[in-house]
Amino acid sequence: MKFHDEPITDRLAEIIQEMRQLGDGKNDLVFFAGRDKRGNEKMFSDAAMRNCLLMLDKTYTDEHDQVVVPHGFRSCVRDTCSEVWNDFQNEAAVDACRAHAVSDKTQAAYLRAKHFQLRTTIMQTWTDFVVSGKRG
């Protein structure tokens, strides 16, 4: 499992608290998907997220009428930051929000900034956008 420091927005803090109340108190994961045969916690997978979308019995589409799939959730953060919010053009900060590793080894060796304050602003803006229900 990859560990990643992520700013916690107000709404995310509420969701974490709600999930704790729903759980049995024995899980380290916020979105717990059961245990494997060895008793280890299973993370919420793309397949589990897809099943949740299917259970809603509704097909969600983006602004281009493309069907939304779980893998696209991370992509839409990047697209919205680059196309809608001109304030967030710092690619390193936006990619850090999505836990993307820098693929260029030389660049990765020198890019040690965490951009935590900017990521906090980006994630709060994203949360406000998602909660509003508006389209980009």
Which pLDDT score is estimated for 14?
92
Going by C-beta distance under 8 Å and a sequence separation of 6 or more, which residues neighbour residue 96?
A: 114, 115, 119
What are the structure tokens assigned to 51, written together?
């099943």
Asked if 3 contacts 116 with a C-beta cutoff of 8 angstroms, the reply is no
Which pLDDT score is estimated for 94?
77
Which pLDDT score is estimated for 107?
78
- Mean pLDDT by groups of 10 residues along the chain of 136 residues: 76 88 74 81 80 74 73 75 73 74 78 80 86 71
